[in-house]
């Protein structure tokens, strides 16, 4: 039986949820039925070595997204690979990959083109969103989404509903290798086992509402001076967030870890995971935290009904204001039984709905349908 040849194209191999999902898929896919290559548009990033272990061929097409040779390198890679499916991730790869894949598809009949949508409409301007996902829609065969909000956002820019396929994200916290001899977060920060640790793993970007979380932390620290907010990630807002932390006199209550790959270490040593929520869904890192039985408190960006969300999910508390978030965090810290119960419900929910195995198997069933 001929293997299905698939090329995953992504902007870079830097730390991020999209990169983790690609690595997870490549590691778990049935190698007897699928041959998976991976190319990034520019640079290598920290995932490169692991990806090389599990993918067929890997390539970084350029050292910069502004390299004029990049389009030619991309076209050559797709043409010479004779791929059945071109699977695109992130907006720059979607735009460029769809264009060149479509040209070859018109000439040769392959590759079929699919993109996994990692971009929410709220994250960028309307024109940016349309340019990334709407403009290339006539060249894309299928869009993969993992939540209802992404589905509705695509429909709002008139993407044909028949092109939209839902595949839930898969969560495997042990995907990212962690050297057990490396570090223990509480020892590293020189804090006791009783110190309350609130964790957020995210790119330090205004889209992630981390300024909201830091301002909430000011109110938490007023009531619980020992509480610690740990931010793992880097990004363009780091200087502004550090300044905000300093202005709010929170230098003893907020820690910036920078980029970290020892996620099991971080999740194991936190009490509550703090993040952003849009439609009762949270990102990859939040789902990973849930596998460690951590309750979630989230910024309510979409104006969801707080009681309805909690009744439906059993594990997710949303907050529309900084005061409300602080109150919810303090309530969980004061009530360990409630915190433990919510954490166990979070773990059960992930095991039932977002298993890594189901994520991989659903892709294995999906890819052949593109060629029928």
Q: Report the pLDDT value the prediction gives residue 349, as an integer from 0 to 100.
A: 85
Question: Sign of the CA dihedral 360, 363, 367, 372?
Answer: positive
User: Would you tell me how many other CB atoms lie within 10 Å of the CB of residue 347?
Assistant: 17
Q: Percent of the chain, pLDDT > 70?
A: 91
- Report residue 176's pLDDT band, with 50, 70 and 90 as the boundaries: very low
357 CB-near residues (< 8 Å, 6+ apart): 28, 170
- Say if residue 303's pLDDT is above 80: no
Q: Report the pLDDT value the prediction gives residue 98, as an integer from 0 to 100.
A: 96
Q: Determine the Cα–Cα distance for residues 295 and 161; give it in Å rounded to an integer.
A: 34
- CATH architecture of the domain with range 4-170+355-369: 3-Layer(aba) Sandwich (3.40)
Lowest mean pLDDT, pick from 263-272, 316-325, 356-365: 316-325
Lowest mean pLDDT, pick from 59-73, 252-266, 292-306: 292-306
Q: Give this prediction's pTM.
A: 0.78
Question: What's the pLDDT tens digit per position in 98-137?
Answer: 999 999 989 888 899 999 998 888 778 899 999 999 999 9
Question: What's the pLDDT tens digit per position in 50-92?
Answer: 888 888 899 999 988 788 889 999 999 999 999 999 999 999 9
What's the order of all strands across the beta sheet hosting 228-232?
254-258, 228-232, 197-201, 272-277, 296-300, 316-319
- Report residue 274's pLDDT band, with 50, 70 and 90 as the boundaries: very high
As a whole number, the mean pLDDT across the chain is: 88
Q: Which of 22, 138, 34, 43 is nearest to 89 (CA)?
A: 22
Lowest mean pLDDT, pick from 24-28, 69-73, 169-173: 169-173
- Report residue 281's pLDDT band, with 50, 70 and 90 as the boundaries: low
178-353 carries CATH number 3.30.2090.10? no
Domain boundaries, the chain: 4-170+355-369, 178-353
DSSP string, 2-56: PPEEEEEEES--SSSHHHHHHHHHHHHS-TTTEEEEEEESS---TTHHHHHHHSS
The answer to whether domain 4-170+355-369 and domain 178-353 are alike in fold is yes
């Amino acid at each position: 039986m001929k293997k299905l040849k698939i090329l995953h194209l992504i902007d870079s191999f830097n730390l991020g949820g999209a990169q983790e999902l690609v690595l997870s898929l490549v590691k778990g896919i049935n190698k007897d039925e699928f041959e998976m290559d991976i190319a990034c548009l520019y640079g290598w990033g920290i995932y490169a070595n692991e990806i090389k272990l599990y993918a067929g061929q890997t390539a970084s097409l350029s050292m910069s997204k502004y390299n004029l040779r990049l389009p030619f390198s991309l076209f050559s890679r797709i043409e010479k690979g004779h791929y059945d499916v071109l699977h695109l991730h992130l907006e720059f790869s979607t735009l460029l990959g769809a264009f060149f894949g479509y040209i070859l598809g018109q000439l040769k009949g392959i590759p079929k083109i699919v993109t996994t949508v990692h971009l929410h409409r709220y994250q960028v301007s309307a024109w940016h969103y349309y340019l990334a996902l709407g403009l290339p829609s006539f060249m894309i065969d299928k869009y993969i989404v993992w939540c209802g909000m992404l589905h509705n956002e695509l429909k709002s820019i008139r993407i044909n509903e028949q092109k939209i396929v839902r595949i839930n994200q898969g969560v495997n916290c042990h995907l990212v290798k962690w050297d057990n001899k490396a570090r223990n977060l509480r020892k590293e920060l020189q804090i006791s086992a009783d110190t309350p640790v609130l964790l957020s793993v995210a790119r330090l970007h205004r889209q992630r509402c981390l300024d909201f979380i830091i301002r909430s932390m000011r109110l938490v620290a007023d009531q619980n001076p020992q509480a610690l907010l740990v931010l793992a990630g880097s990004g363009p807002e780091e200087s502004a967030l550090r300044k905000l932390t300093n202005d709010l006199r929170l230098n003893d209550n907020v820690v910036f870890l920078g980029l970290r790959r020892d996620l099991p270490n971080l999740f194991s040593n936190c009490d509550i995971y703090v993040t952003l929520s849009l439609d009762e869904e949270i990102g990859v890192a939040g789902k990973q935290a849930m596998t460690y039985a951590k309750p979630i408190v989230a910024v309510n960006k979409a104006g969801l009904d707080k009681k309805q969300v909690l009744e439906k999910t059993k594990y997710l508390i949303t907050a529309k204001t900084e005061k409300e978030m602080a109150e919810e965090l303090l309530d969980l810290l004061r009530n360990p039984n409630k915190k433990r119960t919510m954490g166990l419900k979070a773990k059960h929910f992930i095991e039932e709905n977002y298993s890594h195995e189901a994520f991989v198997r659903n892709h294995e069933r999906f890819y052949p349908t593109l060629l029928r």
